[in-house]
Structure 1
C-alpha cells in the first residue's frame, strides 16, 4: 500500500516521521503528541489523534468541557491520513474551539428517528399513545420518514395533506396533522429545526368538531337496550368476570352522571372513591388526559352504582370499579349502539350531553369545566355546552322579531 503520509517535502514532516518510528507496538498509555498531532501504536496498528486547547467551554460527543482544558480526539487509522491532512484537521478544530464554535458538524436527524424518540418520550403520559403511534407508522413515516427534519418544507406538508384528503375524512386527516405538528414542535424546542413547516397550516377544511348530544328519549332507548343485552347474555357470559351481568347499564349511567372519559372510567379503582365530611362521595381521578388529577363529586346514582358493582366477581387483587378490558368495553358498546339503532352515537357523546345539561340547568361554566377536567372555557364552549349562550340569544330574537309575522 502506498504511504500517503510522505507527500510534500520530507523535512517538513520529519518530526512526525520520527515520532512514528519511535513508537513501540502495543502501547499501554495515551497517545504521544508532537505539535498537537498524536499517535498511538496498538497491537493492530497505529491510530491518529489531535489535541486541542479549549480557551472557551465547549462540548464534544455529548460531554461538556470547561475553558482551559485539553481535548483529545481520535481520528482513526493513521493509514487514512497524510501528515498534511492531520495538520489541517488540527488547525480546523483548534480554530473552531478558539471561536467558540461547535466542534462537530450537526448530525442529520430524520423525521422517522425523531418521531420514534418523541413517541418513546410520550409513551408514559400520552393517553392516545396508540393512536399517535398509528399516525406515525401508517400516515407520516411513509412520506416523511426518510427526510431530514431540516429538509421538510411547507410545500411538502401541503402536498401530504392534499393526498390524505383523497383517501380519509377531514376529521381523520386533522388528527394526523395534530400528531405531525406535535412532533415538529418538539423538534423545534429541541433545537433541531428553527421553525415547524406545519406551524401556519390552517385546520383541515370540513373537520368540524363533532356535536352529538342525546335527547332524553334517546337516553331512555340506550338504557333499555343495555338492560336487554344483559338479560339476553347466555349462561357462560353471566359468570365470566369480564361479562358479568349488570356492568353495561351501570357503565353507561356512570358516564352520563360523571361526564368522565372512557379511559378515566376504566382506570377508576375503589381506592379512588373517597368519603367527604358532608356525607358525600368523590372520585379522585389520578389518570387524566390533561395529566393533572381532579376530583369528581358523585351523584346519588353513582353512589348506588359503586355499591352494586361490589358484587361483581373479580380476579384477586383487581379493585377496579368496572373490571372489564378496553377491548371488551369497545365491543359491548358498539353492539349496544347497533341494537338501539343509534350507530352514530359514541360514549364520548354522553360527556357532551352531561356538560350541556349542566350548563342548561344554570351551573356556572367554570364549575362545569372543572368537573370535566378542562383548564379553561374554550374547549367547553367549542365542543360541549354549545347551547348555553345560543338559547338566551334565541329567546331575545323571538322577543325582538316575534310580532313581525303577525303584522
Structure 2
C-alpha cells in the first residue's frame, strides 16, 4: 500500500521548503521510499497524490533512484529487526537533518561527503566526531543493497576518504590515558557522600563508584546487572549484552568480581530485580556535578574503567586475565594500558637477554 506525507522544513535563511515522502508498505514493513522537495506546499501535495496513484497502478522499482539519504536512514531507524546503538542512532538522525540528507542516494558523490564534513567543521565539530558521520553514512549506503535491494554502493565515501584525511576533516578518536589520583578519588567520595545524605537521594553513589572501579564495568552495565545473574559459587555475575563493535546483542559474559566488588554487591538491599536499580545517566550526572564543583578537570566516569584495569595490572594480573574482567575482545587497548604502566619491563627483558 502506497501513501505520502508532506513535511515542512525551514532553511537557515528562513525560506520554507516542503518535502513529500512516499512510502510503500507490504505486510506492515516499509519496502520502498522516495522523496522530493518543493518550494510550494500545494505542489508538494499534488506530486504526492500523483505518485501514489502511479505506484498503485504501475508498481515501483527498487533501484533507489528516487530515494533520498534521509528516507534510507529513516527506513533503517524504523526497522525493528536492525539493532542500532545509541550513538549510531543519534548520528543517523543528525545526518537526516543535514543538507546531505536531501540528496538521492544514487547521486551521492565524494564532493557531497567532503562538503558535509566541511560544513560540520565550520560549526565547531571535532574531526573525531565528524569521523562518526562518515562511518555511519558508509554503513547506511553499504546496507542499502542487501537490505532493500537498492542499486547503490559506498564508493562515494571510499573516494572521499583521502581528501578528508588530507584536510584533517576526520580523525580517529584520541586514546585517553587519564587516571584519577588517590586524592581526587577521596575528594569525589566526600562530595558524593554529601550528595547521598540529601533526603531525596536514592542513589548509593559511593558503592557504585567503588564497584565501577573494582569490577571494571561500564556504568550502564553496573546499573543493569540483576540478582538472578549472580553466581554465588564462582563469585561472579553475568553481564548481559556486553558492548562489542561486531555484535550488538547476545554478548553475555560471566565476570568474576575481584577485590571488594563481591562484598559491595552482597550488601545491596534486595528490593528490586536489579542490584543497583538506578538510572545510569543519573549516576553520571551526579558524578559530573560533584567533579565540577571540586574543580577536577578532564575526568570522565568512563575513566574509572581504565583505573580498574590499571589496578589489576599493578596487582600482577596478566592481560588475558584482565580481559576476562573488562570484557575486551581485542586486547590492543589493554596492551596499551599495560605498556604505559610498565614501560621499563620491555627494557628489562632486553637487558636480561644480553
TM-score, with normalisation over the residues of structure 1? Answer: 0.60
Say whether 1:221 aligns with 2:187. yes
The gaps in structure 1 that reach 5 residues or longer are: 1-61, 63-79, 81-88, 90-102, 238-242, 401-407
Q: Indicate if the aligned counterparts of 1:267 and 1:287 stay in contact, CA closer than 8 A.
A: no
Change (3 A) 1:361 1:187: farther
Q: Indicate if the aligned counterparts of 1:255 and 1:350 stay in contact, CA closer than 8 A.
A: yes
Residue matched to 2:38 = none
Which residue, out of 153, 159, 164, partners 1:194? Answer: 153
SS for the counterpart of 2:323 is helix
Q: How far apart are 1:218 and its partner, in Å?
A: 2.6
Change (3 A) 1:107 1:173: closer
Residue matched to 1:177 = 134
Q: How far apart are 1:140 and its partner, in Å?
A: 4.8
Deviations 1:248-296 (A, max 9, x none): 00111111001111111111111111112xxx41110113222311111
Q: CA RMSD in A?
A: 3.2
SS for the counterpart of 1:267 is coil
Deviations 1:53-80 (A, max 9, x none): xxxxxxxxx8xxxxxxxxxxxxxxxxx9
SS for the counterpart of 2:134 is helix
Which residue, out of 51, 63, 71, partners 1:113? Answer: 71
Residue matched to 1:162 = 118
Q: Indicate if the aligned counterparts of 1:213 and 1:350 stay in contact, CA closer than 8 A.
A: yes
Residue matched to 2:241 = 287
Which residue, out of 251, 264, 276, partners 1:305? Answer: 264
The gaps in structure 2 that reach 5 residues or longer are: 1-30, 32-53
Moved more, 360-369 or 350-359: 360-369
Q: Indicate if the aligned counterparts of 1:222 and 1:336 stay in contact, CA closer than 8 A.
A: yes
Distance in 2 (alpha carbons) for counterparts of 1:181 and 1:195: 6
Change (3 A) 1:260 1:105: closer
Q: How far apart are 1:372 and its partner, in Å?
A: 1.8
Residue matched to 2:299 = 345
Residue matched to 1:240 = none
Residue matched to 1:65 = none
Which residue, out of 313, 316, 320, partners 1:359? Answer: 313
1:1-400 equivalence runs, <5 A: 104=61, 106-108=63-65, 109-121=67-79, 125-126=83-84, 128-129=85-86, 131-166=87-122, 167-187=124-144, 189-190=146-147, 192=150, 193-199=152-158, 201=161, 202=165, 204-205=170-171, 207-231=173-197, 233=198, 235=199, 237=200, 243-244=201-202, 247-276=204-233, 280-290=234-244, 291=249, 292-310=251-269, 314=271, 318-381=272-335, 384-385=337-338, 387-388=340-341, 390-393=343-346
Which fold has the larger relative contact order, with Cα–Cα distance below 8 Å and residues 6 or more apart in sequence? 2
| Matched positions, count | 280
Structure exhibiting the larger radius of gyration computed from Cα positions: 1
TM-score, with normalisation over the residues of structure 2? Answer: 0.68
Distance in 2 (alpha carbons) for counterparts of 1:361 and 1:153: 53
Change (3 A) 1:121 1:393: farther
Q: How far apart are 1:324 and its partner, in Å?
A: 1.2
Distance in 2 (alpha carbons) for counterparts of 1:341 and 1:156: 43
Change (3 A) 1:300 1:376: closer
Change (3 A) 1:294 1:114: same
Q: How far apart are 1:369 and its partner, in Å?
A: 2.3
Distance in 1 (alpha carbons) for counterparts of 2:102 and 2:322: 45
